Amino acid sequence: MKLGIVGLPNVGKSTLFNSLTKAGAESANYPFCTIDPNVGVVTVPDDRLKALGEMYHSKKVTPAVIEFVDIAGLVKGASKGEGLGNQFLSNIREVDAIVHVVRCFEDTNVIHVDGSVNPLRDIETINLELIFADLEVLERRLSKVVKAARMDKTYAKELALLERIKEHLESGKMAKSLEVTDEDELALIKEYNLLTYKPVIYAANVSEDDLADDGASNEMVAKVREFAASENSEVFVICAQIEEEISELDDDEKAMFLDDLGLTESGLEKLIKASYHILGLMSFLTAGEDETRAWTIKIGTKAPQAAGKIHSDFERGFIKAEVVNYKDLLEQGSLAAAREKGLVGMEGKDYVVQDGDVILFRFNV
């Protein structure tokens, strides 16, 4: 899973990205390493894993990970090829969701590209570029479908949809706020892979002083919240500068530092959890002496496909899944004890995996 960080220049994207990757590097043990300097692998905080790892005396505890991509360079005119515009826009096509960093802090030392701090104007600037880029995609598809529809009536429906999306975008709205009427339309709109159809999390970058009350006394944040609500997006209040400082601390220092700020969780942790959630993802766990590990799946995934995340052989040869909720397992202290109490289920291929399931797969090779 991949999230792209976008925003105007000088709003704090790199600062946020650096703190994310540093925090990720600290917790090590993730199965991939960073190849591209603009891509960072971040672990998903998960208290369950630690407890399970201790119970099993696991040699290795491997959390789930998310990739963040720093997509710098999205500026006014990007869709017209300004700067390296189009290249950045194509980077955004590859991500599952967008983290849109918006500057909500005043600092005369940090220049704003448009001369003043105004988060709503900034959001509009970026969103318009995304809309323009999508309009191009739509125009290309439209010209094909118009021709096809002359020969083949089945294209009429797609034609109508394309025209509706176009009108929607031209009125300045994002594709994700368009109401689709049925499954066919939904499938089509997904297929276009529009930038403005991707889920967005707005990260309101505030000054340190605004952190304690989660930006409640910052009028700019209030405006961002109001706007985000209108398109069903979430807002996260962060202070990128503080996150960067926090990312350099060890766990104990971090807890103290957060406590001083009146917080229980860093902004990054909140952001990572939220991204997981917004993408409809969850984790199931595998536990053992060698490794205790969290695996990312989409909510609603069935047991064989979940097994396939571990190895394709597990999916192909799937027989059944031995499933126990991690809480029950921890309370009982061992799988054997949980089995004795009847807390371990033998599930077949139609079982829908639940968040926090600890699973032992049985399969043929």
Rounded to whole angstroms, how far apart are CA atoms 86 and 73? Answer: 10
Task: Give the DSSP per-residue string, 191-244.
Answer: HTT-GGGS-EEEEEE--GGGTTTTTTT-HHHHHHHHHHHHTT-EEEEE-HHHHH
Rounded to whole angstroms, how far apart are CA atoms 269 and 273? Answer: 6
User: Does the protein bind ligand GDP through residue 202 (CB under 6 A)?
Assistant: no
C-alpha 98: how far from chain center: 7
Scan residues 204-233 and list those touching ligand GDP (CB under 6 A).
205, 207
Q: Which of 21, 58, 79, 241 binds ligand GDP (CB under 6 A)?
A: 241
Report the nearest approach of ligand GDP to the CB of residue 233 (Å).
Answer: 19
Residue 205 labeled ligand binder: no
Stretch that binds ligand GDP, among 12-20, 114-122, 219-227, 313-321 (CB under 6 A): 12-20
With beta carbons less than 8 A apart as the criterion, state whether 129 and 79 touch: yes
Residue 11 labeled ligand binder: yes
The site for ligand GDP, by CB under 6 A, has a size of 17
- Of 53 and 215, which has the nearer Cβ to ligand GDP? 215
User: Does the protein bind ligand GDP through residue 38 (CB under 6 A)?
Assistant: no
Report the nearest approach of ligand GDP to the CB of residue 114 (Å).
Answer: 13
Report the nearest approach of ligand GDP to the CB of residue 102 (Å).
Answer: 10
User: Does the protein bind ligand GDP through residue 113 (CB under 6 A)?
Assistant: no
Q: Which of 1, 2, 14, 137 binds ligand GDP (CB under 6 A)?
A: 14
Report the nearest approach of ligand GDP to the CB of residue 93 (Å).
Answer: 21
User: Does the protein bind ligand GDP through residue 156 (CB under 6 A)?
Assistant: no
User: Does the protein bind ligand GDP through residue 105 (CB under 6 A)?
Assistant: yes
With beta carbons less than 8 A apart as the criterion, state whether 157 and 184 touch: yes
State the angle between helix axes of 85-93 and 119-151 in degrees (0 to 180), rounded to the nearest 10: 70
Place of tokens 């509706």: 164
User: Does the protein bind ligand GDP through residue 266 (CB under 6 A)?
Assistant: no
Scan residues 163-192 and list those touching ligand GDP (CB under 6 A).
none
Stretch that binds ligand GDP, among 104-112, 148-156, 268-276, 334-342 (CB under 6 A): 104-112
Burial class (CB in 10 A: 0-12, 13-18, 19+), 173: middle
Provide the token pair at 252.
Answer: 């104990």
109 to each of 10, 61, 105, 123, how far by Cα in Å? 11, 43, 11, 22
Question: What is the side-by-side strand order in the sheet with 357-363?
Answer: 60-62, 291-298, 281-286, 357-363, 318-325, 345-347
66 to each of 20, 31, 178, 229, how far by Cα in Å? 10, 11, 28, 25
Stretch that binds ligand GDP, among 43-51, 90-98, 142-150, 239-247 (CB under 6 A): 239-247
Burial class (CB in 10 A: 0-12, 13-18, 19+), 9: middle
- Of 99 and 138, which has the nearer Cβ to ligand GDP? 99
Residue 34 labeled ligand binder: no
- Binding-site residue numbers for ATP are 10-15
Residues that bind ligand GDP (CB under 6 A): 7, 9-15, 72, 105, 107, 110, 205, 207, 239-241
- Binding-site residue numbers are 10-15
